[in-house]
Structure 1
Amino acid sequence: MVEQSIWMQKVTADPGHSSWYIERFRSMARAGDDLAGEARLVDAMVPRHARILDAGCGPGRVGSQLAEAGHDVVGVDVDPALIEAAEQDHPGPLWMVGDLAELDLPAQGITTPFDAIVCAGNVMTFLAPSTRGEVLKRFRAHLAPGSRAVIGFAAGRGYEFSAFFEHAAAAALEPDLLLSTWDLRPYTDDSNFLVAVLRAA
């Protein structure tokens, strides 16, 4: 039995948490806020009509933007409420309920490797700590050789960047580019956010 994610612990403690999160991004979209920064970065990295996995897709904010850009998107999230919102608000991509620590899409008939994986929105810090290394190994298993995973999360959320780099190395994911923001500012030792572009070795 996989340890319950920090996200689902929050949902268990506060059954309204998912609805609050969904409405937060719906409100931002109505206000015209820029919600596509992560998708723009990933879109610039891949060929046209790429296969992209949105890992921890939430209500579909990033994956839907990539689908609108013409990519073949599969989104996976552990929270059924977020997947339901993604299906309602962003029809088109394949949205699936699933735990990233048990990710096995070939077993569900999705056998073609992905050209990229995007994992935005601090998803890595919402995983059960004991599963973080395994999640990165699962990412590697779903990538075509030489393809890349783009993972972003903030410091101070219980997952040190140094531990993340160790987990990535153990998963045969090698840093191609390290940034401190989704708008391409360089990563430094004192950065409080990390966007890691990791290549499947």
Structure 2
Amino acid sequence: MSRWNELTGGTLGETYDSRFAALAAGGTDVHGEARFCAALVPPGSRVLDAGCGTGRVAIWLAEQGYDVVGVDLDASMLAVAEQRAPGLTWIEGDLADLDLDLAGSFDLVVAAGNVIPLLAEGTEPQTIRNLANALTPAGVLVAGFGLDAGHLPVRPTFTLDDYDAWCAAVGLRLDERFATWDGEPYRNGGYAVSVHRR
């Protein structure tokens, strides 16, 4: 079972969405991840939102002209995403068992919102392999996640060195790393946004 499901029971879709709606209504920018991705590949590019949740990133990108597919294990999250954007492709599935029959077809794969640390422990290397397999030869993998107790709702179980090694094992090299989705330089803090390319 994923650490996300252990934490939430897979029932928090509406609650999660309401939280971000309240932040947006209060003037908080909730689209930093999506804008970050849009700066890496042009409109029209194919994007896989891995661990898409309620679709916040995928829907914004689709509105900017990207061809987006969202995948998530949590049916309650996907129910909200489907209600908000019924015209997009939403797939319920475990990223560790990802079999989209779309190998090599995405220009960018994004895993935002602590997706990687909330996988079932031990499935991280296979998940990274699956995400890499979904990329085109010039594709980009982007992941942002916490590394310590201050940035994670669960106990950290791997380091950035581990993550880079999993990426390297499937032919991806670290291109850039930031401390935030706004592009602040990474200086060994508790949160990192990593860009890996072939």
Alignment TM-score > 0.5, same fold: yes
Distance in 1, Cα, partners of 2:171 & 2:45: 22
Q: Which residue of 2 aligns with 1:193?
A: 191
CA contact (8 A) 1:10 1:17 kept: no
Confirm or deny that 1:129 pairs with 2:128: no
The 1-side partners of 2:106 and 2:28 are apart by: 29
Quick one: percent identity of the two aligned structures?
A: 40
Q: What does residue 101 of structure 1 align with?
A: 96
For 1:39, the aligned partner's letter is A
The residue number in structure 2 matching 1:50 is: 45
Aligned-residue CA RMSD (Å) = 1.6
Q: Counterpart amino acid of 2:2?
A: S
CA deviation after TM superposition for structure 1 residue 76, in Å: 0.2
Give the structure-2-normalised TM-score: 0.90
Q: By how many angstroms is 1:165 displaced?
A: 1.3
Q: CA deviation at 1:25?
A: 1.8
Q: What is the rounded CA distance, in whole Å, between the counterparts of 2:88 and 2:11 in structure 1?
A: 26
Show structure 1 runs of 5+ residues with no match: none
Give distance in 2, aligned partners of 1:19 and 1:27.
Answer: 12
Give distance in 2, aligned partners of 1:23 and 1:17. 10
1:16/1:80 Cα in 2 relative to 1: closer, same or farther (>3 Å)?
closer
CA distance in 2, matches of 1:129, 1:172: 22
Q: How many angstroms apart in 2 are the aligned matches of 1:187 and 1:168?
A: 18
Candidates 134, 137, 143, aligned match of 1:142 = 134
1:116 aligns with 2:108: yes
1:158-197 alignment runs, 5 A limit: 158=156, 159-188=158-187, 190-197=188-195
Aligned amino acid, residue 143 of structure 2: I
Determine the C-alpha separation between the residues in 1 that align with 2:128 and 2:174: 13
Give, in angstroms, the shift of residue 16 of structure 1.
4.9
Query: For residues 64 and 18 of structure 1, what CA distance do their matches in structure 2 show?
Result: 16
Runs of 4+ aligned residues of structure 1 deviating over 6 Å after TM superposition are: none
1:28 corresponds to which of 23, 29, 32: 23
Aligned equivalents of 1:111, 1:169: Cα separation in 2: 18
Note the alpha carbon deviations across 1:61-101, whole angstroms, 9 max, x for none.
11111001100000000000100000112333211111000
CA contact (8 A) 1:133 1:171 kept: no
